[in-house]
Amino acid sequence: MPGTHAILSASSSSRWLACPPSARINAELPETTSVYAEEGTKAHALAEKTLKDYLAGGPAEVQSDNEEMKEAVQRYVDICIEKINAAKAASPDAVVHVEFRLDFSTYVPDGFGTGDMVIVSDKSLEICDLKYGKGVPVSAEGNTQMRLYALGAVEEFGMLYGFDIVRMTIIQPRLDSVSTDTLSAGKLLDWGRSIIPVAKEAYDGKGEFQAGDHCRFCKFRPQCKALAAYMTEKTALRKKQELTDLETVSILQAAKDIKRWLTDIEDYALGKALDGYDWPGMKLVEGRSKRVITNPDAAAAALINLGFVPSAVYKPRELQTMTALEKLVGKKSLAEALGDLIEKPSGKPTLVELSDKRPPLDITAKAADAFDDSLL
Ligand code: SF4
Protein backbone atom coordinates (compact mmCIF):
# COMPACT_ATOMS: atom_id res chain seq x y z
CA MET A 1 0.00 0.00 0.00
CA PRO A 2 1.27 3.53 -0.73
CA GLY A 3 2.50 5.72 2.11
CA THR A 4 5.06 3.46 3.80
CA HIS A 5 7.92 5.48 5.28
CA ALA A 6 10.49 2.88 6.40
CA ILE A 7 14.01 3.49 5.03
CA LEU A 8 13.98 -0.02 3.62
CA SER A 9 10.37 -0.19 2.54
CA ALA A 10 9.11 -3.34 0.84
CA SER A 11 7.68 -1.33 -2.05
CA SER A 12 11.13 0.05 -2.93
CA SER A 13 12.98 -3.21 -2.21
CA SER A 14 13.72 -4.06 -5.85
CA ARG A 15 15.65 -0.76 -5.92
CA TRP A 16 17.63 -0.98 -2.68
CA LEU A 17 18.37 -4.69 -3.11
CA ALA A 18 19.98 -3.90 -6.48
CA CYS A 19 21.50 -0.54 -5.47
CA PRO A 20 21.99 -0.50 -1.66
CA PRO A 21 23.24 3.12 -1.29
CA SER A 22 20.02 4.39 -2.91
CA ALA A 23 18.09 3.64 0.33
CA ARG A 24 19.66 6.36 2.50
CA ILE A 25 19.84 8.83 -0.40
CA ASN A 26 16.10 8.46 -1.09
CA ALA A 27 15.26 8.71 2.61
CA GLU A 28 17.03 12.08 2.76
CA LEU A 29 15.36 13.55 -0.36
CA PRO A 30 11.97 15.29 0.07
CA GLU A 31 8.83 13.13 -0.11
CA THR A 32 6.96 13.38 -3.40
CA THR A 33 3.34 12.52 -4.01
CA SER A 34 1.20 12.34 -7.12
CA VAL A 35 -2.46 12.16 -7.98
CA TYR A 36 -1.88 8.49 -8.78
CA ALA A 37 -0.54 7.81 -5.27
CA GLU A 38 -3.48 9.67 -3.74
CA GLU A 39 -5.94 7.69 -5.88
CA GLY A 40 -4.19 4.47 -4.79
CA THR A 41 -4.58 5.42 -1.13
CA LYS A 42 -8.32 6.08 -1.63
CA ALA A 43 -8.80 2.78 -3.48
CA HIS A 44 -7.04 0.89 -0.67
CA ALA A 45 -9.21 2.55 1.98
CA LEU A 46 -12.33 1.61 0.01
CA ALA A 47 -11.19 -1.99 -0.42
CA GLU A 48 -10.30 -2.24 3.27
CA LYS A 49 -13.70 -0.93 4.39
CA THR A 50 -15.64 -3.22 2.04
CA LEU A 51 -13.70 -6.35 2.97
CA LYS A 52 -13.90 -5.61 6.71
CA ASP A 53 -17.67 -4.98 6.44
CA TYR A 54 -18.06 -8.22 4.49
CA LEU A 55 -16.08 -10.22 7.05
CA ALA A 56 -18.28 -8.74 9.78
CA GLY A 57 -21.37 -10.11 7.99
CA GLY A 58 -22.17 -7.05 5.85
CA PRO A 59 -22.62 -6.77 2.07
CA ALA A 60 -19.71 -7.18 -0.34
CA GLU A 61 -20.72 -4.16 -2.44
CA VAL A 62 -18.26 -1.30 -2.79
CA GLN A 63 -19.90 2.09 -2.11
CA SER A 64 -18.38 5.09 -3.89
CA ASP A 65 -19.41 8.07 -6.06
CA ASN A 66 -16.37 7.48 -8.22
CA GLU A 67 -17.71 4.90 -10.71
CA GLU A 68 -14.34 3.92 -12.13
CA MET A 69 -12.85 3.33 -8.66
CA LYS A 70 -15.97 1.54 -7.48
CA GLU A 71 -15.83 -0.90 -10.41
CA ALA A 72 -12.10 -1.57 -10.05
CA VAL A 73 -12.20 -2.04 -6.28
CA GLN A 74 -15.26 -4.30 -6.68
CA ARG A 75 -13.24 -6.54 -9.02
CA TYR A 76 -10.47 -6.71 -6.39
CA VAL A 77 -12.95 -7.42 -3.57
CA ASP A 78 -14.66 -10.17 -5.64
CA ILE A 79 -11.30 -11.89 -6.25
CA CYS A 80 -10.46 -11.63 -2.52
CA ILE A 81 -13.82 -13.16 -1.59
CA GLU A 82 -13.27 -16.04 -4.03
CA LYS A 83 -9.91 -16.67 -2.35
CA ILE A 84 -11.44 -16.48 1.15
CA ASN A 85 -14.13 -19.01 0.18
CA ALA A 86 -11.59 -21.34 -1.46
CA ALA A 87 -9.32 -21.19 1.61
CA LYS A 88 -12.23 -21.87 3.98
CA ALA A 89 -13.42 -24.78 1.83
CA ALA A 90 -9.92 -26.31 1.91
CA SER A 91 -9.39 -25.60 5.59
CA PRO A 92 -12.23 -24.41 7.86
CA ASP A 93 -9.70 -22.93 10.31
CA ALA A 94 -8.58 -20.34 7.70
CA VAL A 95 -8.34 -16.82 9.14
CA VAL A 96 -8.45 -13.58 7.12
CA HIS A 97 -6.66 -10.35 8.03
CA VAL A 98 -7.24 -7.11 6.14
CA GLU A 99 -4.65 -4.27 6.12
CA PHE A 100 -2.41 -6.26 8.41
CA ARG A 101 0.93 -4.88 9.64
CA LEU A 102 3.73 -7.24 8.66
CA ASP A 103 7.06 -7.01 10.44
CA PHE A 104 9.99 -8.43 8.49
CA SER A 105 12.70 -6.77 10.61
CA THR A 106 14.37 -10.15 11.28
CA TYR A 107 15.65 -9.87 7.71
CA VAL A 108 15.59 -6.13 6.98
CA PRO A 109 16.46 -3.50 9.64
CA ASP A 110 13.27 -1.70 10.77
CA GLY A 111 11.42 -3.51 7.96
CA PHE A 112 7.64 -3.47 8.10
CA GLY A 113 4.78 -3.08 5.67
CA THR A 114 1.05 -3.65 5.31
CA GLY A 115 -0.50 -6.73 3.72
CA ASP A 116 -3.74 -5.72 1.97
CA MET A 117 -5.17 -9.16 2.69
CA VAL A 118 -3.57 -12.15 4.42
CA ILE A 119 -5.29 -15.55 4.55
CA VAL A 120 -3.67 -18.08 6.83
CA SER A 121 -4.52 -21.70 7.56
CA ASP A 122 -2.73 -24.95 8.32
CA LYS A 123 -2.64 -25.66 4.58
CA SER A 124 -1.28 -22.40 3.17
CA LEU A 125 -0.53 -18.73 3.59
CA GLU A 126 -1.67 -16.23 0.97
CA ILE A 127 -0.87 -12.53 0.72
CA CYS A 128 -2.89 -10.40 -1.70
CA ASP A 129 -1.79 -6.97 -2.80
CA LEU A 130 -4.00 -4.44 -4.60
CA LYS A 131 -2.26 -2.31 -7.18
CA TYR A 132 -4.62 0.38 -8.36
CA GLY A 133 -2.28 1.78 -11.03
CA LYS A 134 -2.86 0.99 -14.69
CA GLY A 135 0.54 1.94 -16.08
CA VAL A 136 2.35 -1.37 -16.33
CA PRO A 137 1.28 -4.84 -15.15
CA VAL A 138 3.30 -5.90 -12.10
CA SER A 139 4.19 -9.56 -11.90
CA ALA A 140 4.19 -11.43 -8.58
CA GLU A 141 6.89 -13.76 -9.97
CA GLY A 142 10.05 -13.16 -7.93
CA ASN A 143 8.53 -9.90 -6.64
CA THR A 144 10.67 -8.75 -3.71
CA GLN A 145 7.93 -6.59 -2.14
CA MET A 146 5.62 -9.60 -1.93
CA ARG A 147 8.39 -11.82 -0.61
CA LEU A 148 9.17 -9.36 2.20
CA TYR A 149 5.48 -9.19 3.13
CA ALA A 150 5.36 -12.99 3.06
CA LEU A 151 8.42 -13.17 5.35
CA GLY A 152 6.60 -10.87 7.79
CA ALA A 153 3.52 -13.11 7.64
CA VAL A 154 5.62 -16.26 8.22
CA GLU A 155 7.20 -14.54 11.25
CA GLU A 156 3.72 -13.73 12.60
CA PHE A 157 1.90 -16.97 11.88
CA GLY A 158 4.57 -19.63 11.24
CA MET A 159 4.58 -20.85 14.85
CA LEU A 160 0.79 -21.14 15.09
CA TYR A 161 0.01 -22.74 11.74
CA GLY A 162 1.63 -25.66 9.96
CA PHE A 163 1.46 -24.33 6.38
CA ASP A 164 4.25 -25.02 3.93
CA ILE A 165 2.83 -23.30 0.83
CA VAL A 166 3.16 -19.53 0.54
CA ARG A 167 1.17 -17.82 -2.19
CA MET A 168 1.77 -14.19 -3.17
CA THR A 169 -0.82 -12.55 -5.41
CA ILE A 170 -0.87 -9.12 -7.04
CA ILE A 171 -4.26 -7.93 -8.27
CA GLN A 172 -4.37 -5.02 -10.72
CA PRO A 173 -8.08 -4.66 -11.44
CA ARG A 174 -7.75 -1.80 -13.93
CA LEU A 175 -5.50 -3.97 -16.11
CA ASP A 176 -7.52 -7.16 -15.51
CA SER A 177 -4.29 -8.64 -14.24
CA VAL A 178 -3.94 -11.22 -11.47
CA SER A 179 -0.49 -12.66 -10.96
CA THR A 180 0.53 -15.27 -8.36
CA ASP A 181 3.88 -16.67 -7.27
CA THR A 182 4.06 -19.74 -5.05
CA LEU A 183 7.01 -20.81 -2.90
CA SER A 184 7.53 -23.33 -0.14
CA ALA A 185 8.01 -21.67 3.26
CA GLY A 186 11.53 -23.17 3.33
CA LYS A 187 12.52 -21.55 0.00
CA LEU A 188 11.07 -18.22 1.14
CA LEU A 189 13.11 -18.33 4.36
CA ASP A 190 16.26 -19.21 2.36
CA TRP A 191 15.66 -16.13 0.21
CA GLY A 192 15.08 -14.03 3.34
CA ARG A 193 18.41 -15.17 4.82
CA SER A 194 20.19 -14.46 1.52
CA ILE A 195 19.21 -10.78 1.53
CA ILE A 196 20.23 -10.03 5.15
CA PRO A 197 23.76 -8.77 4.25
CA VAL A 198 22.50 -6.55 1.40
CA ALA A 199 19.73 -5.11 3.58
CA LYS A 200 22.29 -4.28 6.27
CA GLU A 201 24.52 -2.60 3.69
CA ALA A 202 21.55 -0.57 2.42
CA TYR A 203 20.54 0.43 5.94
CA ASP A 204 24.10 1.61 6.65
CA GLY A 205 24.20 3.62 3.39
CA LYS A 206 26.99 1.42 2.03
CA GLY A 207 27.47 -0.74 -1.08
CA GLU A 208 27.88 -0.14 -4.79
CA PHE A 209 25.68 2.09 -6.94
CA GLN A 210 24.10 -0.13 -9.56
CA ALA A 211 21.82 1.29 -12.25
CA GLY A 212 19.10 -0.64 -14.04
CA ASP A 213 15.33 -0.87 -14.46
CA HIS A 214 14.96 -0.43 -10.70
CA CYS A 215 16.07 3.24 -11.05
CA ARG A 216 12.62 4.11 -12.40
CA PHE A 217 11.20 5.38 -9.11
CA CYS A 218 14.47 6.56 -7.52
CA LYS A 219 14.31 10.22 -6.44
CA PHE A 220 18.05 10.57 -7.10
CA ARG A 221 17.64 9.82 -10.84
CA PRO A 222 18.38 13.30 -12.19
CA GLN A 223 21.61 13.63 -10.18
CA CYS A 224 22.91 10.07 -10.33
CA LYS A 225 26.20 9.50 -12.18
CA ALA A 226 25.78 5.72 -12.19
CA LEU A 227 22.48 6.15 -14.03
CA ALA A 228 23.99 8.67 -16.46
CA ALA A 229 26.77 6.18 -17.25
CA TYR A 230 24.19 3.40 -17.67
CA MET A 231 22.10 5.52 -20.06
CA THR A 232 25.06 6.52 -22.19
CA GLU A 233 26.33 2.92 -22.27
CA LYS A 234 22.99 1.86 -23.69
CA THR A 235 23.86 3.67 -26.89
CA ALA A 236 27.62 3.03 -26.84
CA LEU A 237 28.43 2.50 -30.51
CA ARG A 238 31.30 0.88 -32.34
CA LYS A 239 33.47 3.17 -34.46
CA LYS A 240 31.92 2.49 -37.87
CA GLN A 241 30.22 4.71 -40.39
CA GLU A 242 26.83 2.99 -40.38
CA LEU A 243 24.79 1.68 -37.45
CA THR A 244 24.45 -2.10 -37.44
CA ASP A 245 20.95 -3.58 -37.07
CA LEU A 246 21.78 -4.61 -33.51
CA GLU A 247 22.94 -1.08 -32.67
CA THR A 248 19.74 0.41 -34.10
CA VAL A 249 17.66 -2.09 -32.11
CA SER A 250 19.56 -1.35 -28.90
CA ILE A 251 18.87 2.39 -29.37
CA LEU A 252 15.17 1.70 -30.06
CA GLN A 253 14.91 -0.45 -26.95
CA ALA A 254 16.65 2.18 -24.81
CA ALA A 255 14.73 5.15 -26.26
CA LYS A 256 11.84 5.13 -23.76
CA ASP A 257 14.19 4.97 -20.75
CA ILE A 258 16.49 7.63 -22.13
CA LYS A 259 13.58 10.00 -22.94
CA ARG A 260 12.20 9.55 -19.42
CA TRP A 261 15.66 10.14 -17.91
CA LEU A 262 16.18 13.31 -19.98
CA THR A 263 12.77 14.63 -18.88
CA ASP A 264 13.69 13.94 -15.23
CA ILE A 265 16.90 15.95 -15.64
CA GLU A 266 15.05 18.82 -17.38
CA ASP A 267 12.42 18.92 -14.62
CA TYR A 268 15.05 18.79 -11.90
CA ALA A 269 17.19 21.55 -13.47
CA LEU A 270 14.15 23.79 -14.09
CA GLY A 271 12.97 23.30 -10.50
CA LYS A 272 16.37 24.37 -9.15
CA ALA A 273 16.54 27.36 -11.54
CA LEU A 274 13.09 28.50 -10.36
CA ASP A 275 14.46 28.32 -6.81
CA GLY A 276 17.16 30.81 -7.86
CA TYR A 277 20.00 28.46 -8.83
CA ASP A 278 22.29 29.61 -11.67
CA TRP A 279 23.25 26.77 -14.01
CA PRO A 280 26.51 27.64 -15.81
CA GLY A 281 25.84 28.63 -19.44
CA MET A 282 22.02 28.56 -18.98
CA LYS A 283 19.36 31.16 -18.16
CA LEU A 284 15.68 31.17 -17.28
CA VAL A 285 13.38 32.83 -19.85
CA GLU A 286 9.64 33.11 -20.36
CA GLY A 287 8.37 30.28 -22.58
CA ARG A 288 6.28 30.79 -25.70
CA SER A 289 2.60 31.38 -25.04
CA LYS A 290 -0.61 31.64 -27.08
CA ARG A 291 -3.15 34.48 -27.05
CA VAL A 292 -6.29 33.63 -25.10
CA ILE A 293 -9.83 35.02 -25.04
CA THR A 294 -10.49 36.06 -21.47
CA ASN A 295 -14.32 36.11 -21.68
CA PRO A 296 -15.60 33.61 -24.29
CA ASP A 297 -19.29 34.58 -23.79
CA ALA A 298 -18.63 38.30 -24.32
CA ALA A 299 -16.40 37.54 -27.34
CA ALA A 300 -19.09 35.32 -28.93
CA ALA A 301 -21.77 37.98 -28.32
CA ALA A 302 -19.57 40.64 -29.96
CA LEU A 303 -19.00 38.45 -33.06
CA ILE A 304 -22.71 37.50 -33.38
CA ASN A 305 -23.50 41.19 -33.06
CA LEU A 306 -21.29 41.79 -36.06
CA GLY A 307 -23.49 39.40 -38.07
CA PHE A 308 -21.58 36.08 -37.79
CA VAL A 309 -23.86 33.07 -37.27
CA PRO A 310 -23.49 31.19 -33.94
CA SER A 311 -22.63 27.89 -35.74
CA ALA A 312 -19.57 29.62 -37.23
CA VAL A 313 -18.60 31.32 -33.98
CA TYR A 314 -18.87 28.26 -31.71
CA LYS A 315 -17.07 24.93 -32.07
CA PRO A 316 -19.39 21.95 -32.73
CA ARG A 317 -20.56 20.18 -29.56
CA GLU A 318 -18.08 17.45 -28.64
CA LEU A 319 -18.48 14.26 -26.64
CA GLN A 320 -16.22 13.73 -23.62
CA THR A 321 -13.23 11.40 -24.07
CA MET A 322 -13.63 7.65 -23.37
CA THR A 323 -11.57 8.02 -20.18
CA ALA A 324 -13.79 10.85 -18.90
CA LEU A 325 -16.95 8.91 -19.79
CA GLU A 326 -15.62 5.78 -18.08
CA LYS A 327 -14.92 7.84 -14.98
CA LEU A 328 -18.49 9.18 -15.14
CA VAL A 329 -20.36 5.95 -15.90
CA GLY A 330 -17.94 3.13 -14.99
CA LYS A 331 -16.06 0.94 -17.50
CA LYS A 332 -18.49 -1.98 -17.55
CA SER A 333 -21.64 0.15 -17.49
CA LEU A 334 -20.34 2.33 -20.33
CA ALA A 335 -19.62 -0.75 -22.47
CA GLU A 336 -23.15 -2.06 -21.74
CA ALA A 337 -24.83 1.29 -22.38
CA LEU A 338 -23.06 2.05 -25.65
CA GLY A 339 -22.60 -1.50 -27.05
CA ASP A 340 -21.76 -1.32 -30.80
CA LEU A 341 -21.32 2.43 -30.60
CA ILE A 342 -17.87 1.73 -29.24
CA GLU A 343 -15.36 0.67 -31.84
CA LYS A 344 -11.63 0.13 -31.54
CA PRO A 345 -9.92 1.20 -34.78
CA SER A 346 -6.55 -0.33 -35.74
CA GLY A 347 -3.64 1.31 -34.00
CA LYS A 348 -0.68 2.96 -35.70
CA PRO A 349 2.07 0.39 -36.55
CA THR A 350 4.59 0.37 -33.70
CA LEU A 351 7.91 -1.41 -33.26
CA VAL A 352 8.04 -3.27 -29.94
CA GLU A 353 10.18 -5.99 -28.39
CA LEU A 354 9.44 -9.66 -29.18
CA SER A 355 8.31 -10.21 -25.56
CA ASP A 356 5.30 -7.86 -26.10
CA LYS A 357 1.97 -9.75 -25.76
CA ARG A 358 0.37 -8.31 -28.91
CA PRO A 359 0.40 -10.53 -32.03
CA PRO A 360 2.69 -9.43 -34.88
CA LEU A 361 1.09 -7.14 -37.49
CA ASP A 362 0.24 -8.89 -40.76
CA ILE A 363 1.80 -6.44 -43.19
CA THR A 364 1.19 -8.67 -46.25
CA ALA A 365 -2.59 -8.53 -45.58
CA LYS A 366 -2.34 -4.76 -45.13
CA ALA A 367 -0.40 -4.39 -48.39
CA ALA A 368 -2.98 -6.60 -50.23
CA ASP A 369 -5.84 -4.42 -48.86
CA ALA A 370 -4.06 -1.29 -50.06
CA PHE A 371 -3.51 -2.91 -53.52
CA ASP A 372 -7.25 -3.87 -53.78
CA ASP A 373 -8.25 -0.34 -52.78
CA SER A 374 -6.02 1.14 -55.47
CA LEU A 375 -7.90 -0.91 -58.11
CA LEU A 376 -11.25 0.52 -57.14
S1 SF4 B 1 19.32 6.23 -9.89
FE2 SF4 B 1 21.38 5.90 -9.02
S3 SF4 B 1 21.04 5.79 -6.81
FE4 SF4 B 1 19.05 5.55 -7.77
S5 SF4 B 1 18.79 3.31 -7.95
FE6 SF4 B 1 19.69 4.04 -9.85
S7 SF4 B 1 21.88 3.82 -9.63
FE8 SF4 B 1 20.99 3.69 -7.60
Cα 298 from chain centre: 45
Amino acid identity at 293:
I
pLDDT of residue 161: 85
- What spacing in Å lies between the alpha carbon of 171 and ligand 1's midpoint? 28
Pair 306, 300: CB distance under 8 Å = no
- Tell me how far apart the alpha carbons of residues 111 and 308 are, in angstroms, rounded to a whole number: 69
Pair 98, 141: CB distance under 8 Å = no
How far is CA 55 from each of CA 20, 85, 125, 317, rounded to the nearest angstrom?
40, 11, 18, 48
**Does the beta carbon of 8 sit less than 6 angstroms from any atom of ligand 1?**
no
Atom of ligand 1 at shortest range from CA of 219: 4
Amino acid identity at 321:
T
Contacting residues for 251 by C-beta, under 8 A, at least 6 apart: 234, 235, 243
- What spacing in Å lies between the alpha carbon of 215 and ligand 1's midpoint? 5
pLDDT of residue 376: 55
**Does the beta carbon of 127 sit less than 6 angstroms from any atom of ligand 1?**
no
> Which secondary structure element, helix H or strand E, spans residue 181, and what is its range?
strand 177-184
**Does the beta carbon of 96 sit less than 6 angstroms from any atom of ligand 1?**
no
Q: Which residue, judged by its Cα, is nearest atom 2 of ligand 1?
A: 224
Q: Determine phi and psi for 372, rounding to 5 degrees.
A: -60, -45
Pocket test for ligand 1, best of 227, 232, 234 (most atoms within 8 A of CB): 227
Residues of the chain with pLDDT under 70: 1-5, 236-240, 365-376
**Does the beta carbon of 168 sit less than 6 angstroms from any atom of ligand 1?**
no
Pair 73, 50: CB distance under 8 Å = yes
Q: Which residue, judged by its Cα, is nearest atom 7 of ligand 1?
A: 211
**Does the beta carbon of 224 sit less than 6 angstroms from any atom of ligand 1?**
yes
- What spacing in Å lies between the alpha carbon of 327 and ligand 1's midpoint? 36
- Which residue from 62, 58, 86 is spatially nearest to 74, judged by alpha carbons? 62
CATH numbers and ranges of domains, the chain: 10-209 (3.90.320), 220-274 (no CATH), 296-336 (no CATH)
Exposure of 297 in the CB half-sphere (CA atoms within 13 A)? 0
Sign, CA torsion 87/91/92/96? negative
Atom of ligand 1 at shortest range from CA of 19: 8
- Tell me how far apart the alpha carbons of residues 185 and 159 are, in angstroms, rounded to a whole number: 12
Atom of ligand 1 at shortest range from CA of 218: 4
**Burial class (CB within 10 angstroms; exposed 0-12, middle 13-18, buried 19+) of 294:** exposed
Q: Which residue, judged by its Cα, is nearest atom 1 of ligand 1?
A: 221
pLDDT of residue 244: 83
